Amino acid sequence: MILHLDLKRTNQPYQAEIAEAMQRVAESGWYVLGKEVASFEENWAAYCGASHCLGVANGLNALELIFKAFDFPAGSEVIVPANTYIASILSVTSLGLTPIWVEPDPKTFNIDPRKIEEKITPRTKAILAVHLYGKCCDMKPIWAIARKYSLKIVEDAAQAHGATYQGHKAGNLSDAAAFSFYPTKNLGALGDAGAITTNDADLARKIASLRNYGSTIKYYNDHVGTNSRLDELQAAILNVKLKYLETENQRRRELARFYLSEIKHPDLVLPSLKTLYEDAWHLFVVRHPKREQFIDYLMENGIQATVHYPVPPHKQKAYSEYNHLSLPISEQIHNEVISLPLNPSLTDEEARHIVQVINQSVYQPHAAVGYHSRL
Ligand SMILES: *Cc1c(COP(=O)(O)O)cnc(C)c1O
């Protein structure tokens, strides 16, 4: 079976270096917010081209700390993409802010900038730009809207490590960006970890305090903070793996180009490539109008296909107050998406097998029924 992602296999090449880093931390006598974290923060800021980086406990916390630092008045609205992973939305609602849902451009899966302006009210304070599946949002129109209405822009870059937009990296396209280093992400720790990047020195100082109980000088608290610290072990591991991120992303791009040129199937909608974007290809997501049948067919042929994600946030039980909303583009996307295996440890042979199985399915009536997606 070709797995969607085999973490043991993806981390295997770095085992010796990771073990050495872990040993160093174990023997150091310092385990939370220390030298390793400071060094990773410096490395990650430099990688993203941002002036500041703060290591935090996870990606959700990174988003929450950004909104906490902005300290918007109660009842403020944040423009969010309706088509995203639920963590993006949780960061808004957990701060008592109101998500204002905007449909995606079905070609990119990301927020459709043409649909943002009509949703702006006097209470709007920010736009949350989620770079879903590793493709940056179309930032230029978003920057223009933010300037016109004096809004903050927050990037959810949890799936976009190393993705670029017009030559600039994710994490350096907004007022502040949130990253997750959950093990499955393009840059993954061996546990939970996250970070915030920003070019705003005051914001960075405030977040550095907020993540550590709102304190800069021990036992003196300037803000009502929280505990969202990054530990030395994860930072040391991230410092090791960061060295290989570009190579891994290049491999992802190579595999994506292979799929895009070789997969030929009338019922499959392949992801789009845009010249001004370099995608991080966190996921390779195709759409099929009869998703479940197609997944079964792939499974029968030894390929594990997964779904990111089956239910849109506004239709989740947890968000019953939003269940009545009709966001048909997001809903259709959630009904049709399939993630094909694409990760740095996938071999050429496996990629060829995946293409072959998919292309053969054109002749399998149960896997390709004549129905064309409306998107
Ligand atoms: C993974 C992810 C998050 C949350 O990151 P955690 O580290 O799991 O908290 C947020 N947004 C998106 C788009 C993600 O993929």
In this prediction, residue 375 carries a pLDDT of 60
Whether 346 lines ligand 1, by a CB cut-off of 6 Å, is: no
Q: Where exactly are the structural domains of the chain?
A: 7-240, 245-361
From first to last of its 375 residues, what are the pLDDT tens digits of the chain?
999 999 999 999 999 999 999 999 999 999 999 999 999 999 999 999 999 999 999 999 999 999 999 999 999 999 999 999 999 999 999 999 999 999 999 999 999 999 999 999 999 999 999 999 999 999 999 999 999 999 999 999 999 999 999 999 999 999 999 999 999 999 999 999 999 999 999 999 999 999 999 999 999 999 999 999 999 999 999 999 999 999 999 999 999 999 999 999 999 999 998 878 999 999 999 999 999 999 999 999 999 999 999 999 999 999 999 999 999 999 999 999 999 999 999 999 999 999 999 999 886 655 444 444 456
CATH topology for 245-361 is Aspartate Aminotransferase, domain 1 (3.90.1150)
Find the catalytic residue in 125, 135, 185, 315. 185
pTM recorded for the entire structure: 0.96
* CA-closest residue to ligand 1 atom 2: 158
CA 83 to ligand 1 centroid distance, Å: 14
Whether 133 lines ligand 1, by a CB cut-off of 6 Å, is: no
Tokens 């803000």 sit at which residue? Answer: 223
Please give the Cα distance from 247 to 253 (Å, whole number): 10
Q: Let me know if 185 is a catalytic residue.
A: yes
* CA-closest residue to ligand 1 atom 14: 158
Whether 179 lines ligand 1, by a CB cut-off of 6 Å, is: no
Spatial contact of 41 and 54, defined as CB atoms under 8 Å apart: yes
58, 60, 90: which to mutate for ligand 1, most atoms within 8 A of CB?
A: 60
| CA separation, residue 90 to residues 85, 86, 173, 325, 337 (Å) | 9, 6, 22, 17, 22
CATH topology for 7-240 is Aspartate Aminotransferase; domain 2 (3.40.640)
